[in-house]
C-alpha cells in the first residue's frame, strides 16, 4: 500500500528510479546464467510494493535543506539517492524474516519460504529449507550491495557530485549511510540477543527501538537527504529532534501491530511478535504489571506457537497496551512540537509523514 496523502510527485519518481536501476542490472548481467534471471526478479519483486517511507523521509530532508516545495520534482540524482534506501530496507527485511523464521511478508511467502517452495516445485535435489535459507542470505546481501551502488549512481547522473562541494556532499551522504548500517545491525543483534534472556528490560527494548528503527527509518534518511542539500549541523540536529521521537512512535506502533494487528492489513499472522519471542516495550510493560504467576505464564509462552491468543490476552488485560498507546501519543506530540523549529517547507513536507508513521495500519 502506497502513502496517498503525501508528495505523489516524489512517489512516482522513486518508483521510476528503482525501475531504471533494475533495468540496468538486468542488461548488465543478461546471459550470464538463466538462474540469475529469477534471482534478480526476486529482488525487484520484493521492493516493488514497499511503502517508500525511507526514500520519502530522505527527500523531505533534502527539501528541508533546500527549501524546495513538494509540488516541484526533486532532481533525478537526489531521487536516485533517496530510492537507494529501498534496497537497504529490502536487505534488512529478508534477513530479518529468515532470523525470525517468518513464513510471510506483506501477505506473501517470505523470501526463504518462496525459494524453499521453488526447490520443491522444481524437483531439485538436496535440502529445500537449506536452499531457501541460503538464497535469502544471498538475496539480502545483493540488495545491501545495491543500496551502495544506487547511491553511487547519483554521481553518474549529476557530474556536480563528483568534484568540489558536490563531492563533499556525496561523501557526507555515504558517511550517513555507513553509520546507519552499523546502527541497524547493532540494533538487530541486540534484538536477537534479548530473545535469549528470560528477563524483559524496558530500557534495553527502547535502545533497540532507537537503533533499529528511529535512526534507521527516519533520522538517517532525513540526514542523508539533508546533507545532499547542503545542510549544516544545526539543521541536522533540528531534524533529529523530530526524527527520534517519531521513530520511537513508529516502532511502538509496529510492536502493537505485531501482537494485535489484523493479518489482512499487516500481512503477518496474528501475534507474530509473541510467536517470535520479541522482547518489546509492550511485553516489558506487561511483565511489570502482571502478577508473578501471570508474568511467568507469559514468559513461558513467548517464542512458542502455542498459546498466542492467551498471551495476547494477558498483555491486553495487564494494561500494557494502554501504556504503550500513551507512549506513542507522547512521542508523536514531541515530534510535532519539534517540527515548529524547522523551516516552513520542512513542516509542510514532514507533517503528513508524521501522521502516516504513527497512524499507519501496516
Q: Which residues contact 133 (CB under 8 A, 6 or more apart)?
A: 98, 112, 116
The DSSP-derived string for 38-104 is HHHHHHHHHTTT---HHHHHHHHHHHHHH---TTSPPPHHHHHHHHTHHHHHHHHHHHHHHHHT-SE
Can you give the residue ranges of every domain in the chain? 8-359
pLDDT tens per residue, range 74-112: 999 999 999 999 999 999 999 999 998 889 888 899 999
Residue 40, beta-bridge partner list? none
pLDDT tens per residue, range 124-178: 999 999 999 999 999 999 999 999 999 999 999 999 999 999 999 999 999 999 9
**What is the phi/psi pair of residue 360, to 5°?**
-60, 160
Stated as kind and residue range, the H or E segment containing 259 is: helix 233-260
Fold exhibited by the domain 8-359: Farnesyl Diphosphate Synthase (1.10.600)
The predicted pLDDT at position 8 comes to: 56
The Cα 160–Cα 155 span in angstroms is: 7
The predicted pLDDT at position 9 comes to: 67
The Cα 303–Cα 290 span in angstroms is: 18
Could you tell me the pTM of the whole model? 0.92
Supply the DSSP symbol for 109: E
The Cα 206–Cα 228 span in angstroms is: 30
Average pLDDT, stretch 305-333?
93
Q: Which residues contact 80 (CB under 8 A, 6 or more apart)?
A: 17, 21, 150, 151, 153, 154, 157
| pLDDT band per the 50, 70, 90 thresholds, residue 15 | very high
pLDDT tens per residue, range 260-287: 988 877 777 878 899 988 999 999 999 9
Mean pLDDT of the chain: 92
**Three-class DSSP category at 105:** strand
For 52: left if phi > 0, alpha if psi spans -120 to 50, otherwise beta; the answer is left
Q: Which residues contact 169 (CB under 8 A, 6 or more apart)?
A: 161, 227, 228, 229, 230
Is 280 within 8 Å of 273 (Cβ atoms)?
yes
Amino acid at each position: 500500500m502506497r502513502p496517498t496523502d503525501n508528495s505523489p510527485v516524489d512517489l512516482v519518481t522513486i518508483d521510476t528510479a528503482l525501475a531504471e536501476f533494475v533495468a540496468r542490472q538486468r542488461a548488465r548481467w543478461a546471459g550470464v546464467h538463466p538462474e540469475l534471471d529469477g534471482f534478480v526478479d526476486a529482488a525487484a519483486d520484493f521492493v516493488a510494493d514497499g511503502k517508500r517511507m525511507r526514500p520519502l523521509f530522505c527527500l523531505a530532508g533534502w527539501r528541508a535543506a533546500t527549501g524546495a516545495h513538494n509540488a516541484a520534482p526533486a532532481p533525478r540524482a537526489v531521487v536516485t539517492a533517496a530510492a537507494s534506501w529501498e534496497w537497504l530496507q529490502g536487505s534488512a527485511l529478508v534477513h530479518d524474516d529468515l532470523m525470525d523464521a517468518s513464513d510471510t511478508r506483506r501477505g506473501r511467502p517470505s523470501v526463504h519460504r518462496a525459494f524453499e517452495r521453488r526447490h520443491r516445485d522444481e524437483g531439485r535435489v538436496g535440502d529445500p529449507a537449506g536452499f531457501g535459507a541460503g538464497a535469502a542470505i544471498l538475496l539480502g546481501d545483493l540488495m545491501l550491495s545495491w543500496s551502495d551502488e544506487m547511491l553511487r549512481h547519483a554521481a553518474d547522473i549529476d557530474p556536480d557530485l563528483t568534484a568540489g562541494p558536490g563531492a563533499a556532499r556525496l561523501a557526507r551522504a555515504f558517511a550517513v549511510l555507513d553509520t546507519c548500517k552499523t546502527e541497524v545491525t547493532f540494533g538487530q543483534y541486540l534484538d536477537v540477543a534479548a530473545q535469549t534472556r528470560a528477563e524483559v528490560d524496558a530500557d534495553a527494548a527502547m535502545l533497540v527501538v532507537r537503533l533499529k528503527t528511529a535512526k534507521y527509518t527516519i533520522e538517517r534518511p532525513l540526514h542523508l537527504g539533508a546533507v545532499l542539500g547542503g545542510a549544516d549541523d544545526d539543521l541536522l540536529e533540528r531534524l533529529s529532534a523530530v526524527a527520534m521521537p517519531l521513530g520511537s512512535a513508529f516502532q511502538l506502533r509496529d510492536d502493537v501491530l505485531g501482537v494485535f494487528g489484523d493479518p489482512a492489513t499487516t500481512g503477518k499472522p496474528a501475534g507474530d511478535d509473541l510467536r517470535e519471542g520479541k522482547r518489546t516495550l509492550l511485553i516489558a510493560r506487561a511483565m511489570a504489571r502482571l502478577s508473578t504467576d501471570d508474568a511467568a505464564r507469559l514468559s513461558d509462552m513467548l517464542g512458542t506457537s502455542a498459546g498466542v491468543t492467551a498471551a495476547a490476552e494477558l498483555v491486553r488485560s495487564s494494561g500494557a497496551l494502554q501504556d504503550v498507546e500513551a507512549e506513542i501519543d507522547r512521542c508523536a506530540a514531541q515530534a510535532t512540537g519539534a517540527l515548529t523549529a524547522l523551516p516552513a517547507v520542512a513542516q509542510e513536507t514532514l507533517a503528513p509523514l508524521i501522521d502516516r508513521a504513527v497512524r499507519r495500519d501496516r
